[in-house]
Amino acid sequence: MSYSPIVQFISTEYLRSVVPIESNVDDEKLIPHIIVSQDTHVQASIGESGYNALKNGITGNTLTSDEVYLMKNFIQPLTAQYAYYYILPFLNYKSTNKAISKESSEYSQAIDLEEMKYLRNSVRDIAEFYQRRLVKYLLDYPSLFTWYSNPNSKDNLNKTTQAYFSGVYSPYPGNTGTRNIPTYTEPYGTLYPCGFPPCN
């Protein structure tokens, strides 16, 4: 079995230019979270076919002009925001062969857990906005990308149009008896199968 090379959709320099991470944070601390961000949220939005197509286009320098536009205006901002979201809890910690240790400075004080939760929620709100922009663009212009409109049928991970997660998920139940129940389909809003208000 062959493994695809690791491809970064953004550099650490780009990440620092769009999120408040100091220059004294080592690149080695940032890169794993960039990979996690694109592996999870970007791949979830564009599907495995699209994800592999973009990685191959970057390594082979064969991205189309539409794919370059998509990367610069939608995928890179999304990747950066989710990377920052994942990085935040680990900025003060170091993993060694002895233990996981907490770094400190005599001139600064680490925030507490509640402050960290608030900060991460704020960052996630921004990241979800960028994910919504990406999904909306792809849904509006599916013919620009064959990997989106006609993905590989053997994809491990199919694309999703969901961008926001409120903590509760309820799949669309379809027709329940004689009543059609509406479902919220992000990013286009609530769809009523038989008009508004829902029919009985």
pLDDT in tens, 52-82: 999 999 999 999 999 999 999 999 999 999 9
Of 9-23, 104-118, 147-161, 179-193, give the range with the top mean pLDDT.
9-23
DSSP for residue 59: H
pLDDT in tens, 156-171: 566 666 555 555 444 4
Q: In sequence order, which residues have a C-beta less than 8 Å from that of residue 198 and are 6 or more positions away?
A: 179, 180, 181, 182, 192
pLDDT score for 108: 59
Q: Which helix (H) or strand (E) holds 55?
A: helix 43-59
Q: Supply the pTM of this predicted model.
A: 0.74
Neighbours of 133 (CB within 10 A): 16
Handedness of CA 72, 74, 80, 86 (dihedral sign): negative
Q: Among all chains, which residue has been given the structure tokens 């491809």?
A: 7
Cis peptide before 197 (omega within 30 of 0): yes
| Nearest CA among 19, 33, 126 for reference residue 87 | 33
Helices 76-87, 27-37: axis angle to 10 degrees equals 120
Please provide the distance, in angstroms rounded to a whole number, between the alpha carbons at the two ends of the chain.
Answer: 54
Say if residue 189's pLDDT is above 60: no
What's the pLDDT at 181? 47
Domains in the chain: boundaries: 12-96+109-149, 170-200
Q: Which residues pair with 94 in a beta bridge?
A: 101
Which tokens in the block code for residue 164? 């926001």
Amino acid letter, 169: Y
Name the amino acid, one letter, at 149: S
> Which residues, in sequence order, are CB contacts of 52 under 8 Å at separation 6+?
4, 147
